């Protein structure tokens, strides 16, 4: 009867599949793709996805205006917008732009399809995209109140983690706990992908299966099997986790599939778990027939199938090994049982998901299962610690900061394991072709192997070990020397990581780091555990990763932040600094003088955060100075009377700083051009310096001959990244080369981060 019902539901889904495809009439949004500019009114109906420099808005159209004709329309469009201003779920927006077909990405040499973005979006009922249109918010708060509150709460939790943890640990915690994977650095994501462990970041059937099984194991050991409390607790944890992580459709589908497994345990009908899973899948397909083509659905279904079929077998084999070690280890039987359950569910799910990972991503890692098992203890501990940090941080940030020690340790452990494994010579093979026929053959072979393994009676009998009553020592509740040693070793490792020589700078040395943030400026001055940050570059993600690798992980305070001018390649990263760090003071130029020429939306967000957090702020004026240890930092520019009518008034009125550390002077020029440089020369505000931060990323209009003749720098740093402006310009490089050796011109696009250290007398370049 159940099989007939499943078949009926699958057929029903297939019959109305055609109804889900877009129509071909003027009232349909996709009909106007690749045409002229149109006006669209609609509502943001999905969670706003905030990327590093952009945000993605899913807008459901209500009305469009094309060539003076209004159409009542339907359909969704994915809009790519700049990072600022910020938009929210439920906003009613008026958009002016060009609708485009979603792209299909192909290999430049072979023309082979690498990623069919159009097909991917069509499975989500999106058939149009719009790039950086004009957007006007007409009204707010029009969405579902529950979803709106859920998205806000999720953002709060993510921010709570970001304030307690540095990068990349914060983004890993956000990804594991909340599914917010977009800010995870590319190199970390690639390591997970190359080792076949990317599924540990995705909240899918595997993820929820691990959580459910571990909850079952722990709660069984605490409450026993009385009233099936352990099952109810696991159900509660699974759904709470699914809701907090955003309640996205793939997560809800995974939660439903996981619940079928738990329901079978609750009713004592574990043998019916697989038919129940099939029924749940059939219902989902009947509701939305396209779901069967999505990777998330297939992987969640495969993971839960693997857990249902293989988890008991693998768990029993592991249980047979428990207690076979030295007698003193038997005192850890309870912990070992929980670990065994976690490893069993992870391995069983991984075996079923593995061919799909290879098929969809083209990467095969022979060490994937081993790396997964090594990373799993860190994953479980990270989920627990991240949950604690995120929730406590909403009300008690200081306590969340203390809990952040544990979150930092476990996330660092996971990153270390994954990145170390990814560096092995044969850790992975790319561009692996895994045809559908191979998948069809894989699963019967896997099921046959599982059947044989479960029937290896003689071997199984020799391995099985009855824990109950086997060793009187293991009945004691006192902590064994082994347990005490393990806990002490864990605590010692945390201390060693926290207080290693790189974490705390001792003595009177000043360190100046020209950070690698791409095409933009970001400079960090450090004295012991005090910092002054000058500019933040265009990429919040790049800046957070740079700060996370320099500052001690527990130091969440920056004493002063200086914004030289309000262009996006200087201000964007600083906005995230104000959100994540406790900032003692800010200095920025007076932009009220300018009518235009700067990033107004980003600057408005900057001012709003300063006001909300009640941060002391100062408008930069020449002659101001402040101290960092024995170092004196003096403001040289902008002038009292702002420069007008220059090539760029915003750039020429940049905040210029002179950093005097003993006998060494460092001139930080922002994006100063030759007019601003000449103003400093004529007003005798500039003197010879040891190091010059070349203005405007090595632009042709900066580092003028007259300016360099006065400064006479022995060293220069050009903060620059990949760009279309021709920076650094050959003429600027030639002029710098006239006053110093070419080997003394340092560039962040070629060298990455450039670091100098001085004690006031000597100056070192840190390799």
Tell me the CATH number of domain 26-143, given options 3.30.499.10, 2.40.30.10, 3.40.50.300, 2.40.50.140: 2.40.50.140
Q: What is the mean pLDDT of residues 230-251?
A: 76
Q: Does residue 450 carry a pLDDT above 80? A: no
Give the DSSP H or E segment for 252. helix 249-267
Q: What is the mean pLDDT of residues 1-8?
A: 51
Q: Does residue 473 carry a pLDDT above 70? A: no
Per residue in 518-567, pLDDT (tens digit) is 999 999 999 988 999 999 999 999 999 999 999 988 899 999 999 999 99
Per residue in 315-358, pLDDT (tens digit) is 777 666 665 555 555 555 656 666 666 667 777 777 787 788 77
Task: Provide the pairing of β-strand 523-527 with 530-534.
Answer: antiparallel
CB 358: neighbour CB atoms within 10 A?
A: 21
What pLDDT is stored for residue 147 in this prediction?
85
Q: Does residue 25 carry a pLDDT above 80? A: no
What pLDDT is stored for residue 643 in this prediction?
85
At 464, is the pLDDT very low, low, confident or very high (cuts 50, 70, 90)?
Answer: very low
Closest CA to 55 of 138, 163, 132: 132
What pLDDT is stored for residue 468 in this prediction?
40
Could you give the CA distance from residue 213 to residue 371 in angstroms, rounded to a whole number?
20
Cα 555 to Cα 404, 507, 537, 548, 654: the distances in Å are 11, 18, 21, 10, 29
Provide the 8-state DSSP code for 100.
B
At 240, is the pLDDT very low, low, confident or very high (cuts 50, 70, 90)?
Answer: confident
More confident residue, 304 or 694: 694
What pLDDT is stored for residue 131 in this prediction?
93
What pLDDT is stored for residue 474 in this prediction?
41
- Beta-carbon contacts of 708 under 8 Å, excluding residues fewer than 6 positions away, are 692, 735, 736, 738, 739
At 127, is the pLDDT very low, low, confident or very high (cuts 50, 70, 90)?
Answer: confident
Task: Give one word for 629, left, alpha or beta, with left for phi > 0 and alpha for psi -120 to 50.
Answer: left
Could you give the CA distance from residue 524 to residue 528 in angstroms, rounded to a whole number?
13
Q: Are 483 and 331 in contact (CB under 8 A)?
A: yes
Provide the mean pLDDT of the chain. 81
The interaxial angle of helices 368-392 and 145-164, nearest 10 deg, is 100
- Beta-carbon contacts of 183 under 8 Å, excluding residues fewer than 6 positions away, are 52, 167, 171, 174, 541, 544
Task: Give one word for 439, left, alpha or beta, with left for phi > 0 and alpha for psi -120 to 50.
Answer: alpha
Could you give the CA distance from residue 672 to residue 28 in angstroms, rounded to a whole number?
51
More confident residue, 712 or 402: 712
What pLDDT is stored for residue 541 in this prediction?
92
Structure tokens at 281: 């899948």
Q: Which CATH class is domain 510-766?
A: alpha beta
Query: Residue ranges of the domains in the chain?
Result: 26-143, 510-766
Q: What is the mean pLDDT of residues 490-518?
A: 67
């Amino acid at each position: 009867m159940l099989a007939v019902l499943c078949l009926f539901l699958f057929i029903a889904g297939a019959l109305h599949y055609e109804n889900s495809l877009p129509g071909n009439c003027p009232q349909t949004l996709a009909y106007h793709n690749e045409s002229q500019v149109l006006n669209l009114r609609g509502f943001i109906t999905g969670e706003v996805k905030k990327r590093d420099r952009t945000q993605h808005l899913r807008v459901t159209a209500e009305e469009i205006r094309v060539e003076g004709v209004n159409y009542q329309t339907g359909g969704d469009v994915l809009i790519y917008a700049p990072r600022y201003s910020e938009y929210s779920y439920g906003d009613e927006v008026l958009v002016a732009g060009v609708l485009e077909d979603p792209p299909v990405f192909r290999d430049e040499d072979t023309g082979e399809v690498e990623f069919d973005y159009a097909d991917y979006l069509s499975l989500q009922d999106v058939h149009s995209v719009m790039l950086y249109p004009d957007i006007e918010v007409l009204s707010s708060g029009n969405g579902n109140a529950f979803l709106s509150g859920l998205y806000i709460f999720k953002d709060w939790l993510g921010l709570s983690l970001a304030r307690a943890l540095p990068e990349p640990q914060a983004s890993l915690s956000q990804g594991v706990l909340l599914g917010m994977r977009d800010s995870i650095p590319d190199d970390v994501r690639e390591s997970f992908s190359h080792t076949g462990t990317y599924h540990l970041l995705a909240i899918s059937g595997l993820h929820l299966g691990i959580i459910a099984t571990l909850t079952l194991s722990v709660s069984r050991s605490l409450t026993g099997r009385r009233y099936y409390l352990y099952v109810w607790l696991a159900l509660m944890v699974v759904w709470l986790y699914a809701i907090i992580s955003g309640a996205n459709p793939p997560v809800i589908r995974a939660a439903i599939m996981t619940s079928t497994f738990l329901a079978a345990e609750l009713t004592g009908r574990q043998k019916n778990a697989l038919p129940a899973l099939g029924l749940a899948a059939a219902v989902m397909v009947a509701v939305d027939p396209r779901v069967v083509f999505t990777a998330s659905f297939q992987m969640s279904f495969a993971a839960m199938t693997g857990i249902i079929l293989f988890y008991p077998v693998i768990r029993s084999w592991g249980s047979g090994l428990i207690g076979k070690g030295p007698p003193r280890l038997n005192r850890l039987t309870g912990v070992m049982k929980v670990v065994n359950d976690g490893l069993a569910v992870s391995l069983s799910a991984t075996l079923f998901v593995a061919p799909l990972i290879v098929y969809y991503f083209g990467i095969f890692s022979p060490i994937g299962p081993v790396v997964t098992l090594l990373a799993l203890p860190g994953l479980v501990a990270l989920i627990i610690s991240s949950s604690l940090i995120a929730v406590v941080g909403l009300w008690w940030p200081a306590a969340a900061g203390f809990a952040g020690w544990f979150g930092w340790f476990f996330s660092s452990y996971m990153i270390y394991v994954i990145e170390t494994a990814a560096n092995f010579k044969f850790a992975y093979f790319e561009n692996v072709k895994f045809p559908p026929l191979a998948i069809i053959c894989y699963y019967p072979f896997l099921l046959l192997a599982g059947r044989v393994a479960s029937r290896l009676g003689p071997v199984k009998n020799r391995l099985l070990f009855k824990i109950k009553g086997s060793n009187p020592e293991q009945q004691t509740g006192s902590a064994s020397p082994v347990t005490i040693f393990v806990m002490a070793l864990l605590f010692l490792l945390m201390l060693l990581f926290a207080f290693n020589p790189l974490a705390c700078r001792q003595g009177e040395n000043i360190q100046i780091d020209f950070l690698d943030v791409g095409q933009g400026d970001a400079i960090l001055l450090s004295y012991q555990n005090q910092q002054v940050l000058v500019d933040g570059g265009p990429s919040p993600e790049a800046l957070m990763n740079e700060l996370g690798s320099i500052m001690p992980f527990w130091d969440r305070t920056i004493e002063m932040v200086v914004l030289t001018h309000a262009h996006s390649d200087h201000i964007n990263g600083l906005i995230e600094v104000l959100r994540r760090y406790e900032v003692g003071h800010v200095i920025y130029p007076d932009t009220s003088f300018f009518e235009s020429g700067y990033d107004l939306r980003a600057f408005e967000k900057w001012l709003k955060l300063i006001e909300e957090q009640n941060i002391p702020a100062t408008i930069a004026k020449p002659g101001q100075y402040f101290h960092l240890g024995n170092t004196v930092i003096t403001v040289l520019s902008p002038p009292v009377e702002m420069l007008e009518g220059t090539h760029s008034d915003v750039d020429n009125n940049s905040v210029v700083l002179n950093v005097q550390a003993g006998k060494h002077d460092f001139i930080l020029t922002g994006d100063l051009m030759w007019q601003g440089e000449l103003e400093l020369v004529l007003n005798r505000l500039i003197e010879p310096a040891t190091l010059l931060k070349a203005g405007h990323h090595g632009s042709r209009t900066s580092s003028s001959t007259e300016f360099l003749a006065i400064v006479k720098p022995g060293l220069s740093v050009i903060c620059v990244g990949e760009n279309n402006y021709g920076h650094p310009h050959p003429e600027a490089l030639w002029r710098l080369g006239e006053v110093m050796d070419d080997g003394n011109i340092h560039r962040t696009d070629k060298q990455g981060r450039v670091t100098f250290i001085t004690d006031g007398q000597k100056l070192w370049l840190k390799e």
